[in-house]
Amino acid sequence: EQFAPGTAAYNIPVARRLRGPLDRPALQRALDAVIARHETLRSRYPATDDGRPVLEIAAPAPFVLRTADADDEEHAARLVDELGALPFDLVTGPLINGLLVRIGAEDHVLLLVVHHSVSDGWSSEVLVSEVLRGYAAHARDEPDPLTELPVQYGDFALWQRERLTGGRLRDEVAYWGRELAGVRPLELPTTRPRPEHQTFDGAGYGFDVDRDLLDRLTALGKEHGATVHMVLLAAFQLVLSRFSGQRDFAVGSPVAGRPEPELEGLIGMFVNVLALRARLDGDPAFTELLARTRETCLEAYAHQELPFAQLVSELNVERDVSRSPVFQAVLAVQNYASAAPDAELPLHVEP
């Protein structure tokens, strides 16, 4: 955020269409309970005089849920996009925003946006699940169904810091230092010059992989002792190499970062990103590239505890404000389950 202030690139929006009679007080109580339950959702980062951030956690308080009326679905989509693109102020907080859009008497869209410093994709599903479970209970005038959390994110952060010291830290840093020595930025051909500062302006392109192709990719992976992720990564590296003309670069790949069961129900920034080096020297056949990619992944998984931000610091990676450090392309395979609504929820919930 300090390198690129005022950006919405680290916003994580999650929206649900709510069809049916909506109990607004029940929804408010559910939101208040979830935010009181998770310290991360009450966090902010004021800075000291020398610019170092300090964590502060606010006391539980009623959540301010914005409301708006939409003329139709397109208008609702624009309202959702506008809040989803609103930058957070990490100094003052809060780091969660919410919007309830009314399309009709029994047709609403609930949008929750959380800053990536206190959340990740898995956490978004935890958030939605807990809000819907709470809503279902409060709509039936039942007690809050969520029990007290056994640990908070701060407990995990302290455990992680204590664990990554001494010899373990030296081993992790030494591995990544060897693995990433001399890796060059990925230089894809573009029609325009790269801006001096990374802007995060861009567009999305969506497409589907049909079941037959996915089954064939899965079978190919099994034949060579590899996962679908490894097969996709090898193919992605090959495509990037053909466009860039490079045979040595890194691709980022997220891992969940929740090694203990107690962490699965927490909202927080657990995800870590591994820098997986492409090895296309010698013009390998695809099966050989897959074998190399598999080996690279397995070794990286065995050294996944060092947070990427700490890796950049420990290796003293030169920062370039025009691009992200170490890798400039990411392959993310999201394999966590989407939040399933309560079977007795008096609403029909759609993504």
Topology alike, domains 11-150+337-350 and 155-314: yes
115: which 2 tokens?
Answer: 């800053």
pLDDT in tens, 217-263: 999 999 999 999 999 999 999 999 999 999 999 999 999 999 999 99
Helical segments of the chain, H only: 24-37, 73-84, 121-139, 153-163, 166-179, 211-223, 228-244, 286-301, 308-314
- Cβ atoms of residues 321 and 197 within 8 Å: yes
Choose among 63, 71, 127: nearest CA to 93: 63
pLDDT digit string, tens, across residues 2-58:
777 788 999 999 999 999 999 999 999 999 999 999 999 999 999 899 889 999 999
Degrees to nearest 5, angle at CA 309 with 304 and 311? 60
Beta-carbon contacts of 304 under 8 Å, excluding residues fewer than 6 positions away, are 255, 257, 272, 274
Would you say 98 and 31 are in contact if contact means Cβ atoms under 8 Å apart?
yes
User: For residue 123, how far is the Cα from the chain centroid?
Assistant: 8
Could you report the per-residue pLDDT of 273-311, keeping only the tens digit for each?
999 999 999 999 999 999 999 999 999 999 999 999 999
Taking the complete model, does pTM exceed 0.85, yes or no?
Answer: yes
Domain at 155-314: CATH code: 3.30.559.30
pLDDT the model gives residue 283: 92
The C-alpha atoms of residue 344 and residue 135 are separated, in whole angstroms, by 11
Distance CA 128, CA 133 (A): 9
Quote the CA–CA distance of 139 and 276 in Å, as a whole number: 47
> pLDDT-derived band of residue 346, with 50, 70 and 90 as boundaries?
confident
Q: Which residue ranges make up each domain of the chain? A: 11-150+337-350, 155-314
Q: State the Cα–Cα distance between residues 36 and 220, nearest whole angstrom.
A: 47
Here the tokens at position 75 are 């208008």
The alpha-helical segments, DSSP class H, found in 106-210 are 121-139, 153-163, 166-179
Report residue 37: phi and psi, to 5°.
-75, -35
Coil, helix or strand at residue 96:
strand
Domain 11-150+337-350, CATH among 3.40.50.12160, 3.30.559.10, 3.90.76.10, 3.40.50.620: 3.30.559.10
